[in-house]
Amino acid sequence: MHRIIKASLAGGTAAVLFAAGSGPAAAQAFTQEKGHGRVISSLLWSTSDKGFDDDGKVVDIADYRKTELYFLAEYGLTDDLTLLVTPSLRDVSVHGGSDSSGLGYTDVGARYALVRSNGLVVSAQALARFPGQKRRDVLAQVGSTDMEYDLRGQAGYSFGAGSFAILEGGYRLRSGEPPNAFNIDATLGIRAAPRLLLLASSFNAISDGRGRGVFAPYRYHNVYLSSAYDVSRHVTVQLGVSGTVAGRNALRERGLVGGLWYRF
């Protein structure tokens, strides 16, 4: 059980929801216009009493609960260069193990548009991830105590009246004992009505081999389904659900997601 939880925490299943607000120009992979930006507050709550073992089979594990709050801020320094910062808070508990609450990772970096053509944008993004609390003796915080660096390429295509598709591929470099990891993410946003956006996202992580010590090879495949409603030109609210559909040495999480976006 501890092996599954440690590998899962090392991978990290949280992701700020890549929302689209008033149109595809605000979606992940797309840069912000010069002098404009957005702030997205995302709340993710999940539980798990099942996990995936080393063969990918579902097994019973100690009850696990996680609540995370992210504040994603993006600002267009130029039309092609967007600055990014994402502080976070987290509360994690493992039944019969330990609890961890406080500051989570803070991501700092930038996204640069390399190509623009007829609704297509190809971007490169780099983030440095600074850990919050660093208690290595707490099971609920294993794998969250060292620097990480996230590098990825992103392609976004806008179509119709505010719909879009995004594909991302990346590599996460991790300090300490956890293994590095490959990331493949995809998001589809459909503008179902002038103020209503439907979102479907898939976040996938595959460890680059095994880490050192207790860290086994892992993979997980998470799906997020949500809807976002534009309350006004500047404010959007989001609600949805999430779940882990497959994995190896990973938690099988089920959860709720919510978001409040402000564009300026």
Mean pLDDT calculated for residue range 10-28:
47
Q: What is the pLDDT of residues 127-175, one digit of tens each?
A: 999 998 765 655 555 556 789 999 999 999 999 889 999 999 999 999 9
Looking at residue 11, what is its pLDDT?
59
Task: Identify the band that residue 101 occupies on the pLDDT scale cut at 50, 70 and 90.
Answer: confident
Indicate the domain borders of the chain.
2-263
User: CA–CA separation, 107 vs 112, rounded Å?
Assistant: 16
The more confident residue out of 17 and 177 is 177
Q: Is the pLDDT of residue 47 over 50?
A: yes
Task: Identify the band that residue 96 occupies on the pLDDT scale cut at 50, 70 and 90.
Answer: confident
Q: Is the pLDDT of residue 22 over 50?
A: no
Q: Which residue has the tokens 């609390």?
A: 133
**Hey, what CATH topology would domain 2-263 get?**
Porin (2.40.160)
Full-model pTM: 0.88
| 97 φ/ψ angles, rounded to the nearest 5 degrees | -115, -100
Task: Identify the band that residue 48 occupies on the pLDDT scale cut at 50, 70 and 90.
Answer: very high
User: CA–CA separation, 140 vs 97, rounded Å?
Assistant: 7
CB atoms within 10 A of CB 24: 25
Looking at residue 155, what is its pLDDT?
97
For residue 261, which of 73, 30, 14, 85 has the smallest C-alpha distance?
A: 73
Burial class (CB in 10 A: 0-12, 13-18, 19+), 243: middle
